[in-house]
Amino acid sequence: MTSFPLTFSAEVATARKNGTPIVALESTIITHGMPYPQNLEVAQQVEADVREGGAIPATIAVIDGELHIGLDPEQLTALAQAKGVAKLSRADMAVCIASGGTGATTVAATMIAAKLAGIAVFATGGIGGVHKGAEESFDISADLLELAQTPVTVVAAGAKAILDVAKTLEVLETQGVPVIAYGQDSFPAFWSASSLLKAPLRLDSAADIARAHQTRVAMGLPGGQLIANPIPKDAEIPAGELAPVIAQAQADATVHRITGKGVTPYLLQRIFELTEGRSLTANIALVRNNARLAAKIASELAT
């Protein structure tokens, strides 16, 4: 364990004392992934889903230079409404903490925080990946390299079609990250339950996923696992319907010369606008679904 100071919410502190399973949740999805007030409603709902699944939620963020593991309701509300919050990945986290800043954690930064706090399971919507045109831009999310080195099981709904999904899977393979589809062969495509790509691995129960996690730890393998959990069928949007919207959002990003950390938030916001909120409805359903599976995996790890 670490001597680095962490600030635990009362609920998470109690869970740690009692050995109650804990699920980490990221905060960039709140500050940069969804508009207010839906972002707050979703954050609260996802926390409730984790509790219903028998685990305790630990939403992670840096507030005034403190790394918070679990936010109280007031902190969550303030973060959801805050403007100009920094987006923190592996590269930015320590600078933000050292300078007393406030920032939301991406998948990469949330994994780092979860490891520091001894939390093995983390639920989110979608991970960052290899962007389309990466052969020119070199835009590859730090999330992929984090999965290769930090031993946390991340439950996501696959990768968005804003990314080059095939290249994303290639990088994960190169980095030795197990990409495990839950309950199906196809690699899920975020808003759609399946894609044309086959997932490299498949497991059909939370118990099996927990066992795979423990086996990696026992073998001394440093990285995590990516669990690709398909969106519930009744909430999915067919991939064909979204393809032109994504193309439009990408064209707009090029016109406005959006680069670096701004790319993912820009595309998500633009797709939300272009679908008149429909993308968000699906996004909410899949994040909640991931929270429920993560709670089951965390419960299995605790037994």
Residue 11 as a binder of Mn ion (CB under 5 A): the answer is no
Partners of residue 8 on adjacent β-strands: 69
92 binds Mn ion (CB under 5 A): no
- Closer to ligand PSU at the Cβ: 128 or 151? 128
Whether the CB-CB separation of 113 and 123 falls below 8 Å is answered with no
With contacts defined by CB under 5 A, name the span among 134-142, 168-176, 182-190, 249-257 that binds Mn ion: 134-142
Total interface residues for ligand PSU by CB under 6 A: 18
Figure out which of the listed residues 49, 139, 146, 300 binds Mn ion, where binding follows CB under 5 A. 139
Q: Is 198 a catalytic residue?
A: no
Measured at the CA of 180, the angle between CA 23 and CA 43, to 5 degrees, comes to 30
Using CB under 6 A as the binding rule, whether residue 26 contacts ligand PSU is answered as: yes
**What tokens appear for 159 in the block?**
């990768």
Give yes or no: 11 in active site. Answer: no
The one segment of 49-57, 136-144, 168-176, 205-213 that binds Mn ion by CB under 5 A: 136-144
CA dist list (Å): 236 to 127, 183, 209: 18, 16, 24
Q: How far apart are CA 244 and CA 278, in angstroms?
A: 14
Kindly tell me which of 261 and 292 has the beta carbon lying closer to ligand PSU: 261
Ordered DSSP codes for 232-255: PGGG---HHHHHHHHHHHHHHHHH
Neighbouring residues of 84: CB distance < 8 A, sequence distance ≥ 6: none
Footprint on this chain of ligand PSU (rule: CB under 6 A):
26, 28-29, 33, 89, 106-107, 125-128, 141-143, 160, 261, 264, 268
Catalytic residues: 26, 160
List interacting residues with Mn ion (CB under 5 A).
139
